[in-house]
Amino acid sequence: MRRFRRALQLFFERERRQIGRFLGAWRWRPGRTWGPEGRWRLWGIIGSVLFHGLLLAWLLGSSSLTDGPGVRRSEERAVTIRLLPAPPRKPPARKSAPAPRPPVPPPTPPPRPAETPKREEPRAPRPEPERAEAPPQASGREAAPSHAPPLPSPPPLPSPLGLGGGPARPGHPAPLPAPGSGGLGRLSSRLDGKGKALSLYGGSGTTEGAVAKALRWLAEHQDQDGGWSAGDFSRHCRHVRRCTGPGLGEFDVGVTALATLAFLGAGHLPEADDPPLDSRAAAAARDAFQPYRRNVTKALEYLLSRQDGSGAFGASGDNYLYNHALGTLAMSEACAMTGGGTGSRKYRESVAAAVRFSVATQQAGGGWDYTSRSSNRNDLSITGWQVMALRSAAEAGVQVPDGTLDRARSFANKAVTPGGEGIYADLGAEAGRRGINMVAVGLLTRLYLGSLPSDERVRRCAERVLRTPPDWRQAGDWEKTFQSYYYWYTATLALFHLQGEGWKAWNIFLQRALLPLQSETDHEEGSWPPEPSWVGLSGGRVYATAISALTLETYYRYEPINKPRRT
């Protein structure tokens, strides 16, 4: 209403001014006539006043009608709109929980035309599908998809991998596998026997889910050249909060070898190096369960590029034999797993050259030192990795001199005391140092060099390890407790080979300690944090993630030396 009054006031004001200007210009005097122009202007003003007056009256009449005293319809409509309540929002639809299935299993559907029927084993339940494992990226700099569709359950196949598997004969050390025996070289060993091994040795869908997340994180942080940077891996954390926990760049070859072993341990073969397949179902299983073949191929090419003419992986000299031992182990397993592939020849040649370098750098005391030079210092930690690498090289068909293994056994007898303690080194600033981590390394080394589970030193070492289960709270005080991922890995592998009640107990403590440490936030999801000690500062997050994934792959990565009896 105020708007109409204001418009009326402005209209009459404007007309008054026009009439005033007309009368001022054409003021009437006696004896003066208006003339034609004045008369037309006067009639124009009168017509304008009549027209606008009628228009304003019509507007006021149509908008000022009332339904009651003092309340106009326009105002009532405005109030009604403001007071009208908004319609309630429907809550977002939630997926209802699936109805429980009846205890009686449904009938088995007929097989697909492109597949052969899969026969289920009665006592080997399949593991949960690796739901967190995503297809690999084209390169290490490209982010992998954050979610992947669930993969189908793998078909059950004969047996898990056997690296020196099978119990030794009483009174005889367990020999190294014959060259080319092929225990590692079949696709069915790690990929297809995974379900049976998980069920038999204590794994679960939870452990497999953790491995799948770890592999995805490693794939997302792989460099373009195929390697992993211990110190600068976080440059792949684009547009998100960067992952923490850098290590030292001098261990790039070593952490790359560990990451490669993690992919190989889960059954991922390199491209164009697949062994002959026996059936169409095996081919389908390979394609479905090896999404990281490109990542493995590039990682192996990186390791080949870092091997020099002497056969050493990484720079030779001081503090680099860790890199060489891990590189030899990764290349040996790749060679053994691709025994029938077209590209395994280059891997075999690389392993042969690496073995020659390891043999040449063995110290006179039977062990190995940080350096490739003759130092007369024997280091149990590096020797343990070298023994694992040589055993894998023999499985890949590369001859390892007997004299090298005999000298290693002689050193292991000195490094592990009759009471079951492990001695870190025999020379240097830390000569004679003893700790639980060296007990685990010594135990594993003796087993790989042929000691029987009934051996007194083996039993004493196992007892010490079982009294010191994994404890992350003590990892920060490494100098006193020696708690670290390295200790957990070597102890897990050694007790797995021994089996029995000790292994079952250790496996429970391991999963309780290791699984909760896996990150679930931001781009760090799937990785493990480095230890809060100089050990963690050396390898960083890449090392921590790779060795933790290897620890959780123990159930199917190797076949235990002391096989449990099946009832």
**Roughly how many angstroms between the first and final C-alpha of the chain, as a whole number?**
97
Q: Quick one: CA dihedral 542, 547, 548, 550, positive or negative?
A: positive
Tally Cβ neighbours within 10 Å of residue 59.
Answer: 13
Kindly list the averaged pLDDT for each block of 10 residues, start to end, along the chain of length 567.
Answer: 66 68 55 60 72 69 47 38 36 44 43 39 40 39 37 34 34 38 39 83 96 97 97 89 94 97 94 59 64 95 96 82 97 87 80 97 96 94 97 94 96 96 93 96 97 95 98 93 97 97 97 98 94 93 98 95 73
Phi, psi for 261 (deg, rounded to 5)? -60, -35
Contact predicate 345/300, CB 8 Å: no
How do 66-68 and 71-72 pair as beta strands? antiparallel
Backbone angles phi, psi at 52, to 5 degrees: -70, -30
Burial class (CB in 10 A: 0-12, 13-18, 19+), 103: exposed
Residue 253's identity, in one-letter code, is V
> Phi and psi at residue 103, in whole multiples of 5°?
-65, -25
Q: For the CA atoms of the chain, what is the radius of gyration?
A: 40
pLDDT for 18: 67
Residues listed for the chain: 567
Question: Can you list the alpha helix ranges (DSSP code H) found in 379-499?
Answer: 380-395, 402-415, 436-448, 456-466, 478-481, 485-498
Amino acid at 346: K
What gap in Å lies between CA 493 and CA 443, rounded to an integer? 10
| Burial zone of 176 (CB within 10 Å; 0-12 exposed, 13-18 middle, 19+ buried) | buried
Q: What is the pLDDT of residue 276?
A: 56
- What the chain holds in terms of domains, given with CATH numbers, is 187-557 (1.50.10.20)
Alpha-carbon distance 197 to 189, whole Å?
10
**Residue partners of 198: CB distance under 8 A and separation at least 6:** 127, 204, 207, 208, 555, 556
The pTM is what? 0.69
pLDDT in the model for residue 217 = 97
Inter-CA distances, 240 with 127, 236, 524, Å: 33, 10, 10
